Amino acid sequence: MPDPGVQLDQRLAQLKPYRPGVTEEQISRTYNIAIANIIKLGSNENPYGMSPKAAQAIQKAAGSAHRYPDSHALLDALSNHLGASANQLVLGVGSTEVIDMIARAFLSPDTETIVSEYAFAMLAAMSHLSGASVISTPAKDYAHDPDAMLQAVTDRTRVIWLANPNNPTGTYLPPAQIQAFLEKVPAHIIVVIDEAYKEYLAPEDHQRSTLWLQTYPNLILLGTFSKVYGLAGLRIGYGVTNPKIAAILNSVKQPLNISTVGLAAAVAALQDQAYVQQARQRNHDGLQQLINGLKDLHLTTLPAYGNFVTVELPNAADTNEALLKQGIVVRPLTAYNMPNHLRITVGTPNENQELLKALQQIPA
């Protein structure tokens, strides 16, 4: 192919494309395993899928997919659910798009942004695209270190990113620690807390952050329908913040970004909180099963607060390859500079058992 000869500016030159987990098709071809037999524990998806009510809503919405989407019902349902008003919300094509909107709205080449070592990769990736200097602060036992992040603040700092619980480490900063941090951040700096896994926390913890919005006008919280709600393939996420910031983000947003089908599914999923509770309970049990099984194999795990556990292995790359050969997909973390760890998503009890059985048979 001829070189298109386009000028790559500095921002693009340093971008590394995000690599999602290997696809089932790739594994099926490479290792000659039927797709139905592949165990997908690599992308933190809900192993049970979405609420049946969301699936029904998708069927129904298909009939009106020739119409442009109307997001009012989802904005109303979300504002009810979160106890915020609709003008505090912004919808994104996954919360990843909200991360992108924040970076585009508030970062530029002459500014700085702060993110912790081992933080969710999209936070730095979207920041780099804006041309801002991305300051990475050292983690403490693989978790974000709020003090290190505060020390990195300068006159040029515009946005500080946290993921809590964080992916890929699974670590979690308790509410008291976050609140102490928010108290110390200068009010003109935006703090973004990516809470993609909040529904897996104890209910008294997961609702606390929304209350902070009343005290900290510089706070943006991110949520997603990709994890506990099981709608990863439909790409729906959101931000909730004060109305001024929400208005700015909505002005950066493409007007009709969420599809008719996605909106309908999200509304139905949100209304089925019994399903969410069941997912949380199953995840809790599955996480325990994995942690106990890994402990029996004398492996060390990081603290796990989401729907996955990150485990340290002497030969993580070889183990990953051996698992793939058996059709078991987990996530290697070399891109995160964690070459001795693998991230394992909580599957069904059977899937967890298969994973543990395979690990037991792989020579360390």
For residue 194, the minimal CB distance to ligand PLP (Å) is: 5
Give CA–CA dist 299/293, Å, rounded: 9
Touching ligand PLP, residues 282-341 (CB under 6 A): none
* Comparison of 226 and 326: residue with beta carbon closer to ligand PLP: 226
226 belongs to the binding site for ligand PLP (CB under 6 A):
yes
- Of 55-63, 222-230, 296-304, 342-350, the segment contacting ligand PLP by CB under 6 A is 222-230
For residue 17, the minimal CB distance to ligand PLP (Å) is: 16
* Comparison of 33 and 266: residue with beta carbon closer to ligand PLP: 266
List the beta strands (DSSP E) in 195-230. Answer: 219-224
- Of 25-33, 60-68, 207-215, 226-234, the segment contacting ligand PLP by CB under 6 A is 226-234
List the beta strands (DSSP E) in 58-132. Answer: 89-92, 112-116
94 belongs to the binding site for ligand PLP (CB under 6 A):
yes
178 belongs to the binding site for ligand PLP (CB under 6 A):
no
230 belongs to the binding site for ligand PLP (CB under 6 A):
no
For residue 164, the minimal CB distance to ligand PLP (Å) is: 9
- Of 9-17, 89-97, 141-149, 284-292, the segment contacting ligand PLP by CB under 6 A is 89-97
Ramachandran class of 145: left when φ > 0, alpha when ψ lies in -120 to 50, beta otherwise: beta
Give CA–CA dist 323/318, Å, rounded: 9
Give CA–CA dist 45/48, Å, rounded: 9
167 belongs to the binding site for ligand PLP (CB under 6 A):
yes
Sign of the torsion angle spanned by Cα atoms 261, 81, 163, 221:
positive
- Of 224-232, 249-257, 281-289, 341-349, the segment contacting ligand PLP by CB under 6 A is 224-232
Give CA–CA dist 231/228, Å, rounded: 8
224 belongs to the binding site for ligand PLP (CB under 6 A):
yes
Give CA–CA dist 192/212, Å, rounded: 12
Coil, helix or strand at residue 267: helix
163 belongs to the binding site for ligand PLP (CB under 6 A):
yes
Out of 112, 117, 194, 199, name the contact with ligand PLP by CB under 6 A: 194
Q: Residue 37 carries which DSSP code?
A: G
* Comparison of 44 and 352: residue with beta carbon closer to ligand PLP: 44
For residue 232, the minimal CB distance to ligand PLP (Å) is: 6
Q: Which residues of 101-119 are buried (b: 16+ CB within 10 A; e: fewer)?
A: bbbebbbeeebbbbbbbbb
Give CA–CA dist 75/140, Å, rounded: 37
198-201 long-range contacts (CB < 8 A, ≥24 apart) are: 198/164, 198/165, 198/223, 199/227, 199/228, 199/229, 199/276, 199/279, 199/280, 200/165, 200/227, 200/228, 200/280, 200/283, 200/284, 200/305, 200/306, 200/307, 201/165, 201/172, 201/305
- Of 47-55, 69-77, 219-227, 345-353, the segment contacting ligand PLP by CB under 6 A is 219-227
- On whether the CB atoms of residues 241 and 220 are closer than 8 A, the answer is yes
Touching ligand PLP, residues 97-126 (CB under 6 A): 120
164 belongs to the binding site for ligand PLP (CB under 6 A):
no
Residue closest to ligand PLP when measured from CB atoms: 94
Is beta strand 157-163 parallel, antiparallel or unpaired with respect to 190-194?
parallel
127 belongs to the binding site for ligand PLP (CB under 6 A):
no
Give CA–CA dist 123/100, Å, rounded: 8
Ramachandran class of 254: left when φ > 0, alpha when ψ lies in -120 to 50, beta otherwise: beta
Kindly state the number of chain residues that form the binding site for ligand PLP, as judged by CB under 6 A.
14
95 belongs to the binding site for ligand PLP (CB under 6 A):
yes
232 belongs to the binding site for ligand PLP (CB under 6 A):
yes
96 belongs to the binding site for ligand PLP (CB under 6 A):
yes
For residue 120, the minimal CB distance to ligand PLP (Å) is: 4
Binding region for ligand PLP (CB under 6 A): 44, 94-96, 120, 163, 167, 194, 196, 224, 226-227, 232, 237
